[in-house]
Structure 1
Amino acid sequence: MKDERNTYGMMNNKEHYQSLRLYLDSLEISEKALMKEILRLKAAETEDKIRKEEIMAQISHEIRTPLNIITNYTAMLEDEMAERGLLNEFNLFFKAIHKGSQRIIRTVDLILDYSRLESGLYQPSPEEFDVYYDALLPVILKYKDQAETKGLQVNCDITQAEKRRVYTDLYSVEQIFDQLLSNAVKFTFYGEIDISLKNVDNKIVVEIKDTGIGMSQKYLQDVFTPFLQEDRGYTRKFDGNGLGLPMAKKYCELNNIRMKIMSEKGKGTTVYLEFQN
């Protein structure tokens, strides 16, 4: 009886062992299959990114090439008109061509940049830099003449910022400031744009405040929706494509920068940026 129990136990253990072995084999097969699928998806993702980059490069080329031809011929024509003493007569036309060309190029750049952000093609390259001297000041100088032409006063206060160095992606921060300053100048007809850089709770905070047209509370809820503008249709007063704030928001999210917008219709807009490191 004892031998029978031992034999039964050995057979039972053998069956358990075989079952366990089959289970482990199946796990190994499943793991290999899973790794194979992960590698396949990774390759497909890489291929998809490369394809998207190629498409974007092609779009940029197809639009920039004819624009470059137009601007080059316009420059040649300007020189010829200047030699003939006719430049003043045609100056408005040349300015319109240059302005239109720059507007198209800016629109294309915005759309392509936003597409890269949406598809995950843009990867930040963190580095240490001074927020004011390396990122904010160059953008202020870029829009200074445009603001002065409109009679706007641009003020910048950095007296409350002993700490100004951050470790993040410089290009992203430049783009954030560019979109915000561009909007502030575009949507402000009179008054001023106040920019401040300060330290709050050991964090760097940038505030951009304008006395522009502001936004309604209803629109403010959807302000980060791409291509959406409060003033719509062919009769709208302002140029643009509704990508500035959505793109700035995307760059903030990529670099762990907190953005907050406060606005009141007819009174202006204030944007807060808080750097986390």
Structure 2
Amino acid sequence: WESAVVSPIINNQGTISHFIAIKEDITEKKKILEELVRAKEEAEKSDKLKSEFLAQMSHEIRTPIHIVTSSLAFIKEGIKNKIDEDDIELFENIEISAKRIIRTIDLVLNVSELQLGIYKLSFSVIDLDKSILSRIVSEYIQLAKQKNLELIYNYSSEQKNINADEYCVIQIFANLIDNAIKYTKTGKVEIIVSDYREDELAVEVRDTGIGMSKEFLEHIFEPFNQEYHGYSREYEGNGLGLALVKKYCELNNAKIEVESGKGIGSTFRVIFKNN
């Protein structure tokens, strides 16, 4: 391959007297360009295969888990008058564990979708109380009860609606509430909604849990990050949840703030613009 540039040379009479040609061998450049194009196509193909594989794996895992939980619910309903509280608690533990497996699968899939840039946002006007927070809180009542924790929900703002992607907002608060309960041994978890500054709405998730050091707060939203390895043994988790929370907040033009101290608990504050 060659690149050629031909330019005229003008004489004193203003006419073309000669042409000058400059040629360059661009064979190597052409090869490199073709290799880059091929590598890009292979990467895109690989990303697509990865996405399809994860989606298929999610389906393969979710389906039997749903069958197990549905069967257990059916059995539990049939024998609930014949078993004691301890046996009922066993059924509830199985249900909670199954939900945690599905939740972990969702986290991995969500990270993959965001990394591949294939998540499609769908903004709409959402009732933050009825459509999101009330539903999530009701789902976590049993888990909090099992740990003898108070789960308090207080919506004091007159502003009910936000403009956001519903799935993102659900994931934000499911992750924050799940973490608050997970890292709290005694005391309470509170979800407080209030007006914030002039045109903002704030949702605070507060806990009386183990808290975090100031040094760790600088890295809290990094993927796969936990304060120290002891947490991963004593507390279930993979370090993905808060990284996703941060990303989902950014995608929805929301801000997230955190206050925490070792042994005194944590407060996560998500701030939305009023609709």
Q: TM-score, normalised by structure 2?
A: 0.73
**What is the CA distance between 1:59 and its match in structure 2?**
1.8
The equivalent position to 2:161 in structure 1, one of 156, 165, 187, is 165
Matched-pair contact (CA < 8 Å) for 1:257–1:273: yes
Equivalent residue, structure 1, for 2:27: none
Aligned length: 253
Q: How many Å separate the matches in 2 of 1:194 and 1:234?
A: 24
In 2 relative to 1, CA 100–73 (structure 1 residues): closer, same or farther, beyond 3 Å?
same
**What is the CA distance between 1:37 and its match in structure 2?**
11
Gaps (5+ residues) in structure 1? 20-33
Q: How many Å separate the matches in 2 of 1:237 and 1:51?
A: 35
The equivalent position to 1:254 in structure 2, one of 251, 254, 261, is 251
**What is the CA distance between 1:140 and its match in structure 2?**
2.0
Equivalent residue, structure 2, for 1:182: 178
Q: TM-score, normalised by structure 1?
A: 0.73
**What is the CA distance between 1:93 and its match in structure 2?**
5.7
Equivalent residue, structure 1, for 2:261: 264
The structure number with the bigger radius of gyration is: 1
Equivalent residue, structure 2, for 1:207: 204
Q: How many Å separate the matches in 1 of 2:75 and 2:12?
A: 106
**What is the CA distance between 1:172 and its match in structure 2?**
0.6
1:11 matched to 2:16? The reply is: yes
Equivalent residue, structure 2, for 1:24: none
Matched-pair contact (CA < 8 Å) for 1:155–1:195: yes
1:224 matched to 2:221? The reply is: yes
Equivalent residue, structure 1, for 2:53: 55
The secondary structure found in structure 2 opposite 1:266 is coil
Which has a greater percent of strand?
A: 2
In 2 relative to 1, CA 201–15 (structure 1 residues): closer, same or farther, beyond 3 Å?
farther
**What is the CA distance between 1:101 and its match in structure 2?**
2.8
**What is the CA distance between 1:69 and its match in structure 2?**
5.7
Alignment of 1:109-128 (within 5 A): 109-128=106-125
Alignment of 1:39-118 (within 5 A): 47-68=45-66, 70-71=68-69, 82=79, 94-118=91-115
In 2 relative to 1, CA 166–91 (structure 1 residues): closer, same or farther, beyond 3 Å?
closer
Q: How many Å separate the matches in 2 of 1:115 and 1:48?
A: 12
Matched-pair contact (CA < 8 Å) for 1:144–1:154: no
Amino acid at match of 1:179: N
In 2 relative to 1, CA 194–75 (structure 1 residues): closer, same or farther, beyond 3 Å?
closer
1:156 matched to 2:161? The reply is: no
Equivalent residue, structure 1, for 2:28: none
What is the identity percentage for the equivalent residue pairs of Structure 1 and Structure 2?
Answer: 36
Which has a greater percent of helix?
A: 1
Gaps (5+ residues) in structure 2? 1-10, 23-32
**What is the CA distance between 1:234 and its match in structure 2?**
8.7
Equivalent residue, structure 1, for 2:30: none
